[in-house]
Copies of this chain bind each other. A is one copy, B any other.
Amino acid sequence: MKEELLSLIDILGTITFAISGVFAAIQKKLDLFGILIIAFITAIGGGTLRDMLIGDLPVSWMRSVTTPLLILVSAVAAILFRKIIGNFQQTLFVFDSLGLGFFTVLGIQKGITFGFSPGICIAIGTISGCFGGVIRDILLNNIPLIFRKEVYATACILGGLIYFLLLKLDFNKNWLDVVIMAIVFLVRILAVRFKWRIPGIYNDKMEM
């Protein structure tokens, strides 16, 4: 049952990341093909970098055609129904945050499977959750949003820390994944809702 839950959220995560790629690309006025590429890269970017760093090759989306197809269908649907979805940015944002939670947990689990130490597992989970958005922003020639405005990667790191804390406290393993996904999801949601910001560092001497 747990496996099925993960698969379901995996699918939802992939779908929502693909959709967020579509909307980012439309804003930059890319052509149809560019939109599909950005959707694809946003959805698979995090897992791809994770697999390349770990050495779990070929990267996971290459092993079956399901993920690419899922992304294609989601992106086309997002393009077709963009006006409807455009009115539900809130909904989109919720699913995006769910995806962030899922990919973070999936990354942590993969790190554990490969025998990495907890700190590295948290890094792997964070890379899995965030890198798709980072590479999307680089390709669209923005400073990645992750570095600018939102408590994004911080939610992943916080979730990862709590994961290993609960693991140490013998927390029920069946519920651990769900709890961590919920934490990443909620931190992200609340951060945006209440405009949490990580403080910047300003140094007059450094500025030109």
The interface of chain A, by Cβ under 8 A from chain B, is 23, 25-35, 37-38, 48, 52-55, 57-59, 62, 64-65, 68-69, 79, 82-83, 86-87, 114, 116-117, 119-120, 123-124, 134, 138-144, 146-148, 153-154, 197-203, 205-208
- A31 is contacted by which of B54, B139, B147 (Cβ under 8 Å)? B147
* Given A28-B143, A206-B23: A123 in contact with B200 (beta carbons within 8 A): no
Provide the residues of chain B in CB contact with A79, threshold 8 Å: 201
**A10 vs B55: C-alpha distance when bound (angstroms):** 24
Does B31 lie within 8 Å of A198, measured CB to CB? yes
Does B54 lie within 8 Å of A52, measured CB to CB? no
Can you list 29 pairs linking A and B with CB atoms under 8 Å apart?
Answer: A26-B203, A26-B206, A29-B200, A29-B202, A31-B148, A31-B197, A31-B198, A31-B200, A32-B201, A33-B147, A33-B154, A52-B53, A52-B57, A53-B57, A53-B58, A55-B55, A55-B57, A62-B124, A65-B117, A65-B120, A68-B119, A69-B119, A79-B201, A82-B201, A82-B206, A86-B203, A134-B139, A139-B144, A141-B142
